[in-house]
C-alpha cells in the first residue's frame, strides 16, 4: 500500500475513533440538559477542565510513549518494548491524586471552578464518580495509541466507537429508566473506557502483535523521554481546559450562568471538531514516525502536506455545517428554551468555529513536529495556541468587544499561532542516524 493510501486509511479510522471518544461528553451534555436544564449544562462545562486535564496526561504519556516505540521499532531497537509497560504504570501513579480528590473533596474542586452552592450540590456525586475512574481514562489513551502504532488502527477505532456507543446508550438508561440522574451519566461515561481497553486488549492475542508487557519498576527516565514527544498532545488537551476555565470566568462576569451555559453548547461541539483534527494528526503520526526512523524525510513531509490539506478541507465542511444548522445545534441543548442562551450560543458558534481553519493546521503541524522528534518546536506551537495566545486574546478582546470578543479570541489566537508554526517548520531539521 502506498503512502497516500496508508495516510487516508489511518486518518479516516482515527477520526472516527476520536469522534467516538469526544461523544462521551457530548452525550452527557444532551441527556444532562434534558434532565437538569441550564444548570446541568453549566455544571458539565465547569467539569470540562477536569476532564481535559485527565485526557491531557493520558494523551502526553500515551502518544509520546507510542511515538518513541514506533521510531525505535523502525530502527530495530529491542528497548522499544519497555515504553508500553512504563506508560501504563506511570499513568496509574499519576491518576492517584485525581482519585483522592474525587473521593474526598469534589465539592471544593467545583467551587474552585466557579460553581455556586446550587451547582456544587447538583454536581457533587457526578464529579466524584468520574474522578475515581481516572486510571481508565488515561490508560485508554495508551492502549489505543500503542495498538494503532503496532499496525492495527481498525481495532483502535472499533474500541473507541464501542465505548462511545455504550456511553450514549447507558447515559439514557442510567439517567431516565433507572432514575440515577446525573450520577448515572457519570457512571456511563466512566465505564466506557473500561470497555474500550478490553476491546483493544484483543490485539495482544493476534499473530501480528509485537507489544509485550515488561515486568519493571516505573522509570522516570523513560517517562520523561515519552513526555518530550507527547508534550504537544498534553498542551493540546490542556488548552481546552485553559480555554474553558478562562472563558467560564469571563462569561460569568459578562452574562452569569446563562453565558456559561451558552459556552457549554459551543465547547461541546468544539470537542467534536477538535477530535476530528486530532484524528488527522494522530492518524498520520505512526506513518510519520516510521518515515523518520528510516530517515525517509521526503515521505514525512509529504504526510505533513497531506495532513494540512485534509485539515483545511475538513474545516470548510465543518464550518458549512455549523453555519447552516446553528439554531438546530443550539436547540439540542436548550431544553428550557432560553431565548438569551440561544442568542449567545448562536453568535458563539458562528464566530468561534472560524478558528478551525487555522487550528486544524496547527494541530497537524504540532503532531508532525512531535513525530519527527522535534519536541521543542511542537511544544512552542502547542503552548502558543493553548495558553499564551488564547489567554492574551480573550482578555484583550473581551474587554474591547464583550461577549463577541470572547468568541473571537479562539480564531485570533489560532491565526497568530499559525504564523509562528510556519516559521518553526521552515527551520532546519536534523535526521536520526
**Could you read off the pLDDT of 205-228 as tens digits, one per residue?**
998 899 988 888 999 999 999 988
| CA angle (220, 223, 229) in 5-degree steps | 145
Contacts of 282 (CB under 8 A, 6+ apart): 14, 18, 63, 145, 148, 367
Mean pLDDT calculated for residue range 321-345: 89
Predicted pLDDT of residue 431: 45
71 close to 375: Cβ distance less than 8 angstroms: no
CB contact at 8 A, 71 and 93: no
CA nearest neighbour of 237 among 55, 385, 376, 26: 55
Residue 71: φ, ψ to 5°: -65, -50
Burial-class residue 4 by CB neighbours within 10 Å (0-12, 13-18, 19+).
exposed
Phi, psi angle pair for 114, to nearest 5°: 105, 5
8 A C-beta contact, residue 91 and residue 138: yes
40-63 pLDDT, tens digit per residue, is 878 887 887 888 889 889 989 998
> Rg (Cα) of the chain, in Å, rounded?
21
The whole-angstrom separation of Cα 116 and Cα 122 is 10
What length does the chain have? 433
pLDDT of residue 23: 66
Q: What is the mean pLDDT of residues 161-190?
A: 91
Name the residue ranges covered by the structural domains of the chain: 1-218, 228-426
Q: What is the pLDDT of residue 24?
A: 63
Q: Over the stretch 345-391, which tens digit does the pLDDT of each residue have?
A: 999 999 999 999 999 999 999 989 988 988 888 888 888 887 889 99
Please report how the helices 403-425 and 389-401 are oriented relative to each other, as an axis angle in degrees rounded to 10: 150
The pLDDT score that the predictor gives to residue 1 is 64
Percent of the chain at pLDDT > 70 equals: 97
Q: Quick one: average pLDDT of 410-420?
A: 95
Q: Is 237's pLDDT higher than 70?
A: yes
Supply the pLDDT for residue 370: 85
The string over 293-316, giving b where at least 16 C-beta atoms fall within 10 Å of a residue's C-beta and e elsewhere, is beebbebbbbbbebbbebbeebbe
The confidence score (pLDDT) of residue 187 equals: 94
Confidence of residue 22 (pLDDT cuts 50, 70, 90): low
Can you tell me the mean pLDDT for 245-266? Answer: 88
Q: 3-state SS string over 204-267?
A: HHCCCCCCCCCCCCCCHHHHHHHHHHHHHHHHHHHHHHHHHHHHHHHHHHHHCHHHHHHHHHHH
Q: Look at residues 67, 11, 410 and name the one whose alpha carbon lies nearest to residue 240.
A: 410
pTM: 0.75
Whole-number average pLDDT of the chain: 89
Angle (CA) 211 212 214, round 5°: 140
* pLDDT confidence bin for 432, thresholds 50/70/90: very low
Of the chain, the percentage scoring pLDDT greater than 90 comes to: 53
Amino acid at each position: 500500500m502506498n503512502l497516500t493510501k496508508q495516510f487516508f486509511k489511518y486518518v479516516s479510522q482515527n477520526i472516527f475513533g476520536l469522534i467516538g471518544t469526544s461523544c462521551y461528553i457530548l452525550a452527557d451534555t444532551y441527556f444532562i440538559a434534558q434532565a437538569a436544564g441550564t444548570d446541568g449544562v453549566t455544571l458539565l462545562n465547569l467539569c470540562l477542565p477536569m476532564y481535559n486535564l485527565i485526557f491531557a496526561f493520558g494523551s502526553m504519556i500515551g502518544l509520546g510513549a507510542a511515538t518513541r516505540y514506533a521510531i525505535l521499532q523502525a530502527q530495530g531497537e529491542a528497548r522499544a518494548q519497555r515504553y508500553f509497560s512504563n506508560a501504563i504504570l506511570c499513568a496509574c501513579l499519576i491518576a492517584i491524586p485525581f482519585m483522592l480528590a474525587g473521593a474526598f473533596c469534589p465539592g471544593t474542586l467545583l467551587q474552585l471552578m466557579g460553581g455556586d452552592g446550587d451547582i456544587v450540590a447538583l454536581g457533587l456525586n457526578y464529579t466524584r464518580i468520574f474522578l475515581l475512574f481516572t486510571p481508565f481514562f488515561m490508560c485508554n489513551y495508551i492502549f489505543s495509541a500503542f495498538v494503532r502504532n503496532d499496525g492495527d488502527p481498525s481495532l483502535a477505532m472499533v474500541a473507541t466507537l464501542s465505548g462511545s456507543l455504550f456511553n450514549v446508550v447507558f447515559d439514557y438508561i442510567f439517567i431516565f429508566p433507572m432514575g440515577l440522574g446525573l450520577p448515572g451519566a457519570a457512571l456511563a461515561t466512566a465505564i466506557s473506557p473500561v470497555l474500550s481497553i478490553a476491546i483493544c486488549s484483543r490485539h495482544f492475542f493476534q499473530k501480528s502483535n509485537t507489544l509485550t508487557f515488561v515486568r519493571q519498576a516505573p522509570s522516570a527516565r523513560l517517562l520523561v523521554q515519552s513526555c518530550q514527544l507527547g508534550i504537544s498532545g498534553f498542551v493540546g488537551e490542556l488548552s481546552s481546559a485553559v480555554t474553558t476555565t478562562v472563558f467560564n470566568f469571563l462569561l460569568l462576569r459578562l452574562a452569569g450562568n446563562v453565558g456559561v451555559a451558552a459556552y457549554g453548547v459551543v465547547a461541546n461541539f468544539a470537542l467534536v471538531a477538535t477530535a476530528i483534527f486530532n484524528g488527522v494528526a494522530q492518524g498520520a503520526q505512526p506513518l510519520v514516525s516510521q518515515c523518520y526512523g528510516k530517515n525517509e524525510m521526503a515521505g514525512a513531509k509529504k504526510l505533513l502536506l497531506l495532513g494540512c490539506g485534509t485539515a483545511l478541507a475538513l474545516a470548510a465542511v465543518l464550518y458549512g455545517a455549523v453555519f447552516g444548522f446553528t439554531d438546530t445545534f443550539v436547540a439540542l441543548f436548550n431544553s428550557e428554551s432560553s431565548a438569551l442562551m440561544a442568542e449567545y450560543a448562536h453568535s458563539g458558534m458562528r464566530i468561534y468555529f472560524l478558528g478551525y481553519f487555522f487550528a486544524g493546521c496547527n494541530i497537524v503541524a504540532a503532531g508532525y513536529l512531535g513525530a519527527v522528534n522535534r519536541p521543542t518546536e511542537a511544544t512552542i506551537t502547542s503552548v502558543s495556541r493553548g495558553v499564551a495566545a488564547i489567554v492574551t486574546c480573550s482578555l484583550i478582546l473581551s474587554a474591547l468587544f464583550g461577549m463577541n470578543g470572547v468568541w473571537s479570541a479562539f480564531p485570533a489566537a489560532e491565526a497568530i499561532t499559525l504564523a509562528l508554526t510556519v516559521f518553526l517548520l521552515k527551520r532546519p531539521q536534523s535526521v536520526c542516524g
